[in-house]
Structure 1
Amino acid sequence: MSFTLATWNINSVRLREALVLKLLAEESPDVLCLQECKSPVDKMPLDAFAEAGYGHVVARGQKGYNGVAILSKIPMAEAGSQDFATLGHARHVAGTLENGVTVHNFYVPAGGDVADRSVNEKFGQKLDYLTDMRDWFRDSRPEKSILVGDLNIAPREDDVWDHKKLLKVVSHTPVEVEHLAETQEAGGWVDVTRRDIPEGRLYSWWSYRAKDWDGADKGRRLDHIWASADIEQAGHSSRILRDARGWEKPSDHAPVFASFDL
């Protein structure tokens, strides 16, 4: 079975319902993983998504912040969720497709503005969340699995607009990059996006603060698609839909895509 998967931090699924429907209509991914839905599940516009052909859903929601959802054309069974770092946040949900592939959808904490856990509790929570992810994947090494989401870390020098200027900025600090690498290694995950696009600057997020986000192009690659080692060779055709960042009332993230032949 061949299928295309997309991941997108939507920054309020209710506010941007029309943009989700636009993406579904124009790009027609088989599976769409959303983060930062900012809504309880019963308030998400799931009926509209079902009418668009995405009737299979697993989701975790919260009022006003966090929240993750997987929308699928392909039959999908609930595969649980984890509360890493015991934050009580809706930041992870998993679903298993009818071909046996389990999709993990993550929204890793952003970490606040100061890269020092002694003065910034949110930064500590981010590191603890990644540590718990690492330990979980080490204890139950994933097979036939895909991990996607807003991981809130741009790990490579060419995943940010200026490596040296961002070394002390949350999302690109060495300690965060190290934690993410340990999580990836513990699960045997392969970064499908960078395997397909190994060279050059690549971004999936541009700040709302930039008046001309496209011209300034001060982006970061915060959104990721990983595959477990046993199926990573089945992944291909990775891309980032940069144009979506320029849609009317957009999210500050752009959707990331990959296809799999399994």
Structure 2
Amino acid sequence: MPKFAANLTMMFNDVPFLHRFEAAASCGFSAVEYLFPYEHPPEVIADQLLHSHLSQALFNMPPGDWHLGERGLAALPERKRDFRDSLDKALSYAQVIGSPLLHMMAGIAPSNDRSAIDTYRENLKLAAERTGEYGIGLTIEPINGRDMPGYFLQNFEQAAEFIEAVGAAHVKLQFDIYHRQILHGDVIMGLRQYAHLIGHIQIASVPDRNEPFTGELNDRLILEEIDAIGYKGYVGCEYRPCRGTQEGLTWLTELP
């Protein structure tokens, strides 16, 4: 079975964020991910990882003003300077925290708008160059429009085209099983098709984004396929616990 990372944005919400590291470790996780660390100094995050004996799997670049509905900056032509600033900030955090991966969020923009497409390509190339300088991987992720209406990147084939156009080995696809099922279905064939591009995988049940093994998918077969394609990274548990995080972890403890 794959190795799993707890998503501290969605899991262990019964305790403050900085206490979730120890909570994840106590439940047997060896790594964590989360949306954003920027409310805390990176040294504080690094200390939590060290004291909890956890690895960092990934986090997102700053998305703009999340509370005002911004969901990334990479495809926004009028926000190029802000994107560069967000890249600098993410890199400074990743170096201190020790994150091997950064996820570049695209933002809310029409997916067929030429200006948005050109801006996204330009910013992806810039992010690839900068992350490459620091030896940090970069991922992009198709996100379904039901959860994030108007998100620019909602197609796995388009994401693969963007990645292949950059031509940098450290730029990868973030394959979220939940988003894949909603956008295209055919999860296992998708894993096989894009195995050579996958840099990070996330899991949640469909349709309610709760614990694995509680939805419409055969999650056991999917996890077996993740092993079969040779994926060695973490699988991020980016789901909303149905009752409580610890109460819902029986799916994990019952795996072989």
Give the TM bin, normalised by the shorter chain. Answer: 0.3 to 0.5
TM-score, with structure 1 as normaliser: 0.43
**Higher-strand-fraction structure:** 1
TM-score, with structure 2 as normaliser: 0.44
